[in-house]
Amino acid sequence: MTISLVDAVLFLGVLYLTYLSTRAAGAYIKSGGLRELPQQVVDSLASDARARSRITVSELGDIERDLVDLRETIIVAHRIEKPEKHLRAAVEDNFQQGVRYVFVVSESELQNAATNEKIFHAIFTFAQETAPLEGPNSKIRSRTFEELFAIRALRGEWQSWPYIFYRCGSPTNTIAFRGDQLREGIAENYVQLSGADAASIFCACEMAMTSEARSDVGAGGGEFSDRPPVLSIVSSKSITSVRGGGVDKQD
């Protein structure tokens, strides 16, 4: 199949306009021009055309557990849902390794904060009781629940998809995913966002946060990565951390 010069020029022109629109949206957000919940900006930037392959929530759990040098997980969503199976195993393993979880949710969902804290405190307690005495998964023994878990509020209601930002390494390198179900805490499937889209979306999310939440999740900055995380294929009956030092976690 041959491609004409006109078709090639049109194709390159579309790519360039897409690049300019993403840059312009990011600059507008950073300049403080966006004051209300940025649903349209967020949704338009998170197009499937620029996202990576779709993965299930179970596969996301495996990725979350196996990310190298994960420091912090930030979830921006309408509400908080209890993690199950692979996702719960990831939270347990990450708590053991001292990974912090920050949930930024709709203002109305703060009424459920105490209930959600109890759910994650139980996971934290189990992770602490089963943590080894030495190795990477022993870090939890010197940490408190308050150090590794926080719930922060958005200014209003989050009508969009759930987003997850994984901050890895030092200096911080961030990998981002978007769920496929609106107004949910945990989606059934996720797509990885490009570095440019993730940066713009994170800026838009920050504009929708309260000042307390913005100062919390904003500290640390970091670059947004396009690198695809390595997904390890594991048994659905037993999950063992590939990072070592952990205990087997049953579904």
Q: How confident is the model at residue 196 (pLDDT cuts 50, 70, 90)?
A: confident
Torsion of CA 54, 59, 62, 65, to 10 degrees: 50
- The answer, yes or no, to whether residue 231 has pLDDT greater than 50, is no
CB-based contacts of 188, cutoff 8 Å, min separation 6: 56, 57, 179, 180, 181
- Higher-pLDDT residue of 114 and 6 is 114
Phi, psi of 245 (to 5 degrees): 90, -5
| Chain position carrying tokens 């900055």 | 221
Q: Which of 12-26, 96-110, 128-142, 205-219 has the lowest mean pLDDT?
A: 12-26
Give the domain ranges of the chain: 7-231
Q: How far apart are CA 246 and CA 96, in angstroms?
A: 8
7-231 carries CATH number 3.30.870: yes
pLDDT band at 218 (very low <50, low <70, confident <90, very high): low
pTM reported for the whole predicted model? 0.70
Sort strands 173-179 and 189-192 into parallel, antiparallel or unpaired: antiparallel
pLDDT band at 1 (very low <50, low <70, confident <90, very high): low
DSSP 171: T
Comparing CA positions, the residue from 187, 159, 167, 181 lying closest to residue 60 is 187
Helix axes 85-96, 113-129, angle to 10 degrees: 70
The partner residues of 224 in beta bridges, in order of sequence, read: 174
Half-sphere exposure for 167 (CA within 13 Å, toward CB): 22
Q: Which residues pair with 167 in a beta bridge?
A: 72, 174
